[in-house]
Amino acid sequence: MDLFKQKIEKLRRKINEANYNYYILDNPTISDAEYDSSMRELQQLEESSPQYKTADSPTQRVGASPLTKFNTVTHRIPLLSLDNAMDEAEVIEFVSRVHKALPGEQVEFVAEPKIDGLAVELVYENGIFVSGSTRGDGITGEDITQNLKTIRSIPLQLRSNQHPIPSLLEVRGEVYMDRNDFERLNEQQLAEGKPAFANPRNSAAGSLRQLDSRITATRTLSIFCYAPGSCEGFSFETHIEFLQTLPLWGFRINPLIKLCKTTDELIDYYRSIETKRDTISYDIDGVVFKVNSIGQQQTLGIKSRSPRWAIAGKFKAKQEITQILNIEASVGRTGAITPVAHLQPVQIGGVTVSNATLHNQDEIDRKDIRVGDWVVIQRAGDVIPQVVKVITERRNGAEKPYRIPAECPVCGSHIIRPEGEAKHRCQNMNCPAQIKGRIQHFVSKRAMNIDGLGDRLIEQMVDSGLIHSVADIYFLKKDDLAALERMADKSAQNVINAIDASRETTLARFIYALGIPNVGEHMGKVMEREFKDLETLIAADYERLEAVEGIGPIVARAIRDFFDEENNQQTVNRLLEGGVSIAKSKTGTQDERFAGKTFVFTGTLTQFTRDEAKEIVEKKGGKASSSVSNKTDYVVVGENPGSKATKAKKLGVTIINEEEFLDFVNK
């Protein structure tokens, strides 16, 4: 072997071992001076012999050119959020639900602190770190690979001397900043005349979302890893087994993790961690309890956005007393009106709080909240400030009751409160307060899918007066875009091409893109299947809508209210005038072989993507799931199937390959 290559590999092993001992085991084995000297020597050798430079070298943690934007990444398995237990009683209720769903079975739980940071996913192929992303909306996140490489507690290459390495491994974790590092960062910010960060979580999130990874590298970030995503070529029987394996591969896990076997042990852990909360060097806002057995997790399954086998036990929020100076109506992306209390600024848990949500008119009436009241404020989940109660003893008669106005404070359109809803809403989808969020939603991947229309460009177009509604997008010219700051002719043409490509769409996508309250992707597909075309849907009265299976009274009223608003009718008509063409639905006839059947796809698929497979199944009247259970009908395996195939065999679920699936589809 080339002597240069031998020396390079020896130095890499030395530096990787030093990183592992320092960041994972908290046991430094070489001095800082020796570490720096070895790193400089490795950099020099790689510069002189660039053919030996690899992506997993310790020298590649920083150095990539700044990005112009973050690309999006679709998670192979959704990063679900957790339901919350707000006190011990709700933790006990969670345990009872689990035991009820698993009658007669012994159930263990893994308990760990809930870190107040930013959730990320790390992807390794054959032991090499290839990409990393934020949680995002749970389905898609932002590609922050270069920034994650700067965190030295994230291995660029997995250790293989103690445990075999899967061909594909996804690891979820929480990136955070220690309080001491946060204070040092803020001191530096203020010394440079820059604004201080609000709290450690904001500083961690802001650091990870820097387009220049060299800036991220100057921030001291850490990570605790806590959950798997996809894992191919390897499987685990229990969650604790997975956690115990992570350090063998080079990952850092929380030292306070504990295996609990009884409800009393869970409650003792909950109380113990809350007691230690202020002595831990990083921010936590609760604890997480997970069913230990992977098989039991799969049996319990998931709800729409959260697993039934895990819960976040939240800590009691810290409270302070302050005065309400004023109450104003805030208008959200979908027109939801949220009353916001403007407060005499007060410090809660190291954060200055000057606003608090009052949620809705019912909440205001129930608590009898008035302008001028002295109130108890807390940060719910240590994040969202809210009013706990009014101190009526401090009233002097000058306090004023508050009612949500009848007209939108931004656009003047009428505000309604849909039947069955707590929220009031501005019905005008072109309301200036909503328009940026409306457009961002309209162009998103699962809506009209207009690539290139990012948040910054949308903000620039709205602020410059170039567009005032979603319909204006389809009347843009290349020269309009090219005239904007930092927009070259080629970039402008790319956006125009993406707009043109989006003109032909489906009814389901179009309905979802409009942002009708309570109407998500699934409901868009329900309406497409039932009404076939836009004209029939718009003409449907409330009774016709409510009669559709899956559309309840609240959704029916939301749809009818939306299309009854004149501004919205004009916008839809203008979208059609701009060339938007909605294909007539062909999904009306279900295939009896698929109806009510659940399919799971695993392994590397070569004939189609997972999204395409899901679409095929749903169009045929079936359901595509991400986990195998005794309710699964078929598991479709691609190359290198993982634990899902093993689980299917144990449960006796029918296993077919891609060719058999396609034959089944085309019969």
Who contacts 208 (Cβ-Cβ below 8 Å, separation ≥6)?
118, 120, 134, 144, 147, 148, 175, 216, 221
To the nearest whole percent, how much of the chain has pLDDT over 90?
45
- What sign has the CA pseudo-torsion 267, 272, 278, 284? negative
Phi, psi of 177 (to 5 degrees): -130, 130
- Residues 282, 254: Cα–Cα separation, whole Å: 11
pLDDT (average), residues 162-175: 91
Phi, psi of 333 (to 5 degrees): -60, -40
Residue 368 pLDDT exceeds 90? yes
Across the beta sheet with 598-602, the strand order is 623-625, 598-602, 634-637, 654-657
Contact 651, 628 (CB under 8 A): yes
| pLDDT value at residue 65 | 59
Question: Which has the closest alpha carbon to 116: 204, 226, 221?
Answer: 204
pLDDT (average), residues 455-460: 88
Same domain, 91 and 44: no
Range with top average pLDDT, 96-105, 133-142, 313-322, 405-414: 96-105
Compute the half-sphere exposure of residue 40: CA atoms within 13 Å on the CB side of its CA: 6
Instruction: Decide which of 83 and 197 is more confident.
Output: 83
Range with top average pLDDT, 202-206, 220-224, 581-585: 220-224
Quick one: tokens of 7? Answer: 């020396």
pLDDT (average), residues 9-26: 74
Who contacts 455 (Cβ-Cβ below 8 Å, separation ≥6)?
440
Residue 650 pLDDT exceeds 60? yes
Residue spans of beta strands (DSSP E) within 358-513 = 370-371, 374-380, 384-390, 400-401, 415-416, 424-426, 504-506
Last residue of a domain, one of 294, 314, 334: 314
Contact 75, 173 (CB under 8 A): no
Contact 339, 361 (CB under 8 A): yes
Residue 432 within a domain:
yes
pTM over 0.75? The answer is no
Please report, for the domain that includes residue 626, its CATH number: 3.40.50.10190
Last residue of a domain, one of 588, 614, 642: 588
Biggest alpha carbon distance in the chain? 88
- Residues 301, 316: Cα–Cα separation, whole Å: 29
Same domain, 36 and 109: no
Burial class (CB in 10 A: 0-12, 13-18, 19+), 91: buried
Compute the half-sphere exposure of residue 551: CA atoms within 13 Å on the CB side of its CA: 28
| pLDDT value at residue 586 | 57
Name the DSSP letter for residue 388: E
Residue 234 pLDDT exceeds 90? no
Same domain, 440 and 563: yes
Residue 250 pLDDT exceeds 50? yes
152-182 in b/e burial notation, b at 16+ Cβ within 10 A? bbbbbbbbeeeeebbbbbbbbbbbbbbeebb
Residue 102 within a domain:
yes
Quick one: tokens of 311? Answer: 């819960």
Residue 572 within a domain:
yes
- What sign has the CA pseudo-torsion 9, 12, 18, 19? negative
| pLDDT value at residue 572 | 94
Residue 46 pLDDT exceeds 90? no
Instruction: Classify 2 in phi/psi space as left (phi over 0), alpha (psi -120 to 50) or beta.
Output: beta
Name the DSSP letter for residue 605: -
Quick one: tokens of 594? Answer: 């698929």
Same domain, 40 and 185: no
Same domain, 583 and 443: yes
Quick one: tokens of 257? Answer: 């993790």
Same domain, 19 and 35: yes
Number of structural domains in the chain: 5
Indicate which residues carry an active-site annotation.
114
Same domain, 537 and 495: yes
- Residues 74, 140: Cα–Cα separation, whole Å: 4
Quick one: tokens of 23? Answer: 């960041």
Please report, for the domain that includes residue 182, its CATH number: 3.30.470.30
Please report, for the domain that includes residue 569, its CATH number: 1.10.150.20
Last residue of a domain, one of 286, 314, 342: 314
Position 273 confidence tier, pLDDT thresholds 50, 70, 90: very high
Residue 72 within a domain:
no
Same domain, 384 and 426: no
Please report, for the domain that includes residue 25, its CATH number: 1.10.287.610
**Mean pLDDT score of the chain:** 87
| pLDDT value at residue 62 | 61
Cα end-to-end span (Å), the chain: 57
Residue 79 within a domain:
no
Residue-wise pLDDT tens digits, 372-383: 999 999 875 545
- Residues 339, 336: Cα–Cα separation, whole Å: 10
Contact 510, 582 (CB under 8 A): yes
Same domain, 243 and 298: yes
| pLDDT value at residue 605 | 80
Position 23 confidence tier, pLDDT thresholds 50, 70, 90: low
Contact 437, 502 (CB under 8 A): no
Identify the domain containing residue 552 by its residue range: 419-588
Identify the weakest region by mean pLDDT among 70-79, 93-102, 107-116: 70-79
Residue 178 within a domain:
yes
Same domain, 627 and 609: yes
| pLDDT value at residue 588 | 45
Same domain, 561 and 618: no
Please report, for the domain that includes residue 374, its CATH number: 2.40.50.140
Phi, psi of 220 (to 5 degrees): -90, 100
Strand-pair category, 598-602 with 634-637: parallel
Residue 392 within a domain:
yes
Residue 76 within a domain:
no
Phi, psi of 111 (to 5 degrees): -115, 140
Residue-wise pLDDT tens digits, 64-79: 556 677 888 889 998 8
Same domain, 323 and 206: no
